[in-house]
């Protein structure tokens, strides 16, 4: 295998990690379950085990068959009927939970809204009726481009209620990226807002959407949420008569009586686009019964959520973590979910800890990149606030370095909170590899072992088991992706064709297993970058660069970054007659941000008259990564022109980061 750059030495450091953290006794004593036998029970009867989880949900019609597995296509709970919104809301209205806070939301400027389960059910039902009024029917696609406001969850649940398929597009994506996603899914309605707050600024979402809407013929209506009382004025929001409608106008007139549509277990719940190894993001398709079963189960066991917990996942709803662990998993559990709109350092670097103290957050789930930023800002920020309510911490999105883990444990968790390092992907829908905080002895940097019922192993190129190689999932799981929207062939090729053995899923990550059986996920082995926990395809950035009139060719690689994990470095060959300049560096960075979104803005751009290529014309990314990281050059004998690299490397060292 080709391990991601630097993983060998990184791994040696990791495996020297010998600190062990057994589950605290009091935590174990109060957990839903505390018995290790759950692993064996799941192994003995995998289908019975998942069926027992599914039985916790409310079904309109029970399934006839737990699993129909025709690799790579799986159907879970075949013949069953249920509705996700019904499970997340209606089910909780009959007992004391009806008056419990489902959602506690704080905007960046400090405005607060709390929705009980009753409130949330009412507003979701009203909005569901409003969508119906706009002609949205079961199976139609609805694009959602919203900031982190309650309406994001409401819109998702409203779609689920009527059987419309939502496609949430992260608010940081550009108009072009939004348009691509709308067009790929052929969405009829777009739900957006006049703006959203980020680090004291207003992101003009409707203005971006208007730009996207120039090239999205399928959109019939745009629903606009008025985020703040003066945002529309500052962002100069304009409404196109008939097409554009204010959310509050629709809600005002809508009935709160909207029966939940009975959905087939395999009906599609949502599409979520994610970066792959080509320039085109993939529309990952998730269905209903299996997805809800696994997100429900993992939320319950990994976060051990109880009635009195206040649970906060800091992800954005535009990512899978927001779908599964802000909205569906926690609400299916009847939990109280905290949601925050803005940046962690606004108005100061203590904002997250202030929020934890203010709302008494007990379970906190974030990303390693955020933890590394907190570390850098210093422990004086968390120390200013009372974090004594916290009882469990989680991380997701990228490998966590042991230093960050230990810092998180000490300064956020007060050395009393277990940490769950959860490995999973957009494609897996739910958590796959994770400690169970009530039984697992954790090791900083290791996601430990598969969740009960999940089977993962490490394989080499030839498909032989190994203790260092590619991560592989060797059995179907309920929340697995069902296909790529409109491209089942790509689904087969990308995930199910790496090895001959049918039904072996290739996630694209490298991993090692230590002598205790703990898994250490090392990161991507394909051309996908992980920048601050966001997946970005090198090809996407390359296409955006080549789209600029001055650029002939571009090669993009990840460069080690102490906070973001990886940063984007681009090697660019200019067209004849174009000269390298500082202005062009600035212009190219801005161009990429404009084409894809700010998350894809390269950190470093280096001009080069030529790029290192193999004799067959493939760009040698490994060498470019070495150069970007300032490492010694690897083997260059397969290069067409070894001189190219030597010159590039010398220049990079002389000029440093432009």
Note if the bond before 72 is cis, omega within 30 degrees: yes
Q: How far apart are CA 291 and CA 77, in angstroms?
A: 11
Q: Does 5 bind ligand 7RM (CB under 6 A)?
A: no
Q: Which of residues 429-488 bind ligand 7RM (CB under 6 A)?
A: 447
Q: How far apart are CA 621 and CA 616, in angstroms?
A: 14
Q: Does 396 bind ligand 7RM (CB under 6 A)?
A: yes
Report, in Å, the least distance between residue 471 CB and ligand 7RM.
8
- What does the block give as tokens for 53? 């989880």
Beta-bridged to residue 171, according to DSSP, are none
Q: How far apart are CA 120 and CA 356, in angstroms?
A: 23
Q: Which of residues 258-287 bind ligand 7RM (CB under 6 A)?
A: 274
Q: Does 235 bind ligand 7RM (CB under 6 A)?
A: no
Residue number, 419 or 645, with CB nearest to ligand 7RM: 419
C-beta atoms surrounding 489 within 10 Å = 9
Report, in Å, the least distance between residue 426 CB and ligand 7RM.
3
Compute φ and ψ for 234, nearest 5 degrees: -70, -30
Residue number, 394 or 612, with CB nearest to ligand 7RM: 394
- What does the block give as tokens for 174? 């550009």
Question: Which member of 83, 422, 442, 504 binds ligand 7RM (CB under 6 A)?
Answer: 422
Report, in Å, the least distance between residue 549 CB and ligand 7RM.
32
Residue number, 66 or 532, with CB nearest to ligand 7RM: 532
Q: Residue 62 class from Cβ within 10 Å (0-12 exposed, 13-18 middle, 19+ buried)?
A: middle
Residue entry with tokens 């029966």? 259
Question: Which member of 90, 210, 509, 542 binds ligand 7RM (CB under 6 A)?
Answer: 509
Q: Does 17 bind ligand 7RM (CB under 6 A)?
A: no
Question: Positive or negative CA dihedral for 496, 498, 504, 509?
Answer: negative
Q: Which of residues 300-329 bind ligand 7RM (CB under 6 A)?
A: 319-321
Q: Which stretch binds ligand 7RM (CB under 6 A): 34-42, 72-80, 378-386, 523-531?
A: 523-531
Closest CA to 171 of 108, 90, 78, 77: 108
* Angle at alpha carbon of residue 87, lines to 83 and 90, rounded to 5°: 105
Question: Which member of 46, 178, 439, 521 binds ligand 7RM (CB under 6 A)?
Answer: 521
Q: Which stretch binds ligand 7RM (CB under 6 A): 61-69, 197-205, 419-427, 459-467?
A: 419-427
Q: How far apart are CA 565 and CA 591, in angstroms?
A: 23
Sort residue 360 into left (φ over 0), alpha (ψ -120 to 50) or beta: left
Q: Does 425 bind ligand 7RM (CB under 6 A)?
A: yes
Report, in Å, the least distance between residue 514 CB and ligand 7RM.
15
Q: Which stretch binds ligand 7RM (CB under 6 A): 81-89, 123-131, 300-308, 390-398?
A: 390-398
Binding-site size for ligand 7RM (CB under 6 A) equals 23
Is residue 58 classed as helix, strand or coil in its secondary structure? coil
* Angle at alpha carbon of residue 513, lines to 402 and 26, rounded to 5°: 55
Residues found near ligand 7RM in the complex (CB under 6 A): 274, 319-321, 396-399, 421-426, 447, 507-509, 521, 523-524, 530, 535
């Amino acid at each position: 295998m080709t391990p991601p750059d630097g993983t060998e030495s990184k791994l040696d450091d990791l495996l020297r990690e010998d600190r062990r953290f057994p589950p605290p006794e009091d935590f174990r004593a109060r957990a839903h379950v505390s018995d290790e036998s759950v692993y064996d029970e799941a192994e003995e009867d995998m289908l019975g085990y998942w069926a027992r989880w599914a039985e916790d949900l409310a079904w309109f019609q029970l399934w006839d068959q737990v699993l129909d597995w025709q690799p790579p296509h799986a159907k879970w709970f075949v013949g069953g009927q249920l509705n996700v919104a019904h499970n997340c809301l209606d089910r909780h209205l009959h007992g004391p939970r009806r008056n419990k806070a489902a959602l506690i939301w704080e905007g960046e400027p400090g405005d607060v809204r709390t929705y009980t389960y009753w409130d949330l059910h009412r507003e979701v039902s009203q909005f569901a009726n409003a969508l119906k009024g706009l002609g949205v029917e079961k199976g139609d696609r609805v694009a959602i481009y919203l900031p982190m406001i309650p309406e994001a969850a409401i819109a998702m649940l409203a779609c689920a209620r009527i059987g419309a398929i939502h496609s949430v597009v992260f608010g940081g994506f550009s108009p072009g990226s939004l348009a691509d996603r709308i067009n790929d899914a052929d969405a009829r309605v777009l739900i957006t807002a006049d703006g959203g707050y980020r680090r004291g600024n207003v992101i003009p979402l409707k203005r971006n959407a208007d730009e996207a809407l120039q090239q999205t013929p399928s959109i019939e209506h745009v629903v606009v949420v008025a985020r703040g009382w003066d945002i529309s004025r500052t962002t100069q929001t304009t409404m196109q008569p008939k097409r554009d409608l204010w959310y509050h106008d629709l809600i005002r007139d809508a009935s709160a009586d909207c029966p939940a549509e009975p959905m087939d277990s395999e009906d599609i719940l949502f599409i979520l686009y994610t970066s792959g190894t080509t320039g085109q993001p993939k529309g990952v398709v998730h269905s209903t019964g299996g997805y809800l079963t696994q997100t429900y189960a993992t939320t319950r066991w990994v976060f051990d959520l109880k009635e009195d917990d206040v649970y906060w996942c800091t992800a954005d709803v535009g990512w899978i973590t927001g779908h599964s662990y802000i909205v569906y998993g926690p609400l299916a559990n009847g939990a109280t979910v905290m949601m925050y709109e803005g940046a962690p350092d606004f108005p100061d670097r203590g904002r997250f800890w202030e929020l934890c103290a203010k709302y008494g957050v007990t379970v906190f789930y974030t990303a390693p990149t955020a933890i590394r930023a907190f570390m850098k800002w210093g422990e004086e920020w968390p120390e200013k606030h009372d974090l004594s309510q916290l009882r469990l911490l989680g991380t997701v999105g990228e490998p966590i370095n042991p230093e960050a883990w230990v810092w998180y444990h000490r300064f956020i968790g007060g050395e009393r909170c277990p940490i769950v390092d959860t490995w999973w992907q957009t494609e897996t829908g739910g958590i796959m590899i994770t400690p169970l905080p009530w039984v697992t002895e954790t090791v900083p940097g290791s996601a430990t072992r598969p969740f009960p019922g999940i089977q993962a192993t490490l394989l080499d190129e030839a498909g032989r088991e190994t203790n260092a190689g590619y991560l592989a999932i060797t059995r179907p799981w309920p929340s697995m992706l069902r296909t790529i929207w409109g491209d089942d062939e790509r689904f087969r090729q990308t995930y199910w064709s790496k090895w001959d053995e049918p039904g072996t899923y290739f996630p694209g990550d490298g991993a090692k297993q230590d002598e205790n059986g703990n898994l250490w996920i090392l990161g991507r082995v394909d051309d996908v970058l992980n920048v601050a926990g966001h997946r970005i395809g090198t090809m996407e950035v390359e296409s955006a660069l080549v789209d600029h009139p001055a650029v002939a060719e571009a090669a993009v690689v990840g460069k080690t970054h102490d906070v973001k994990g990886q940063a984007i470095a681009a090697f660019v060959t200019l067209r004849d007659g174009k000269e390298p300049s500082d202005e062009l560096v600035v212009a190219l960075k801005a161009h990429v941000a404009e084409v894809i979104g700010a998350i894809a803005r390269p950190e470093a751009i280096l001009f080069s008259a030529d790029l290192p290529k193999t004799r067959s014309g493939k760009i040698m990314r490994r060498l470019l990564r070495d150069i970007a990281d300032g490492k010694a050059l690897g083997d260059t004998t397969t290069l067409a022109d070894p001189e190219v690299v030597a010159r590039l490397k010398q220049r990079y060292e002389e000029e440093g980061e432009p």
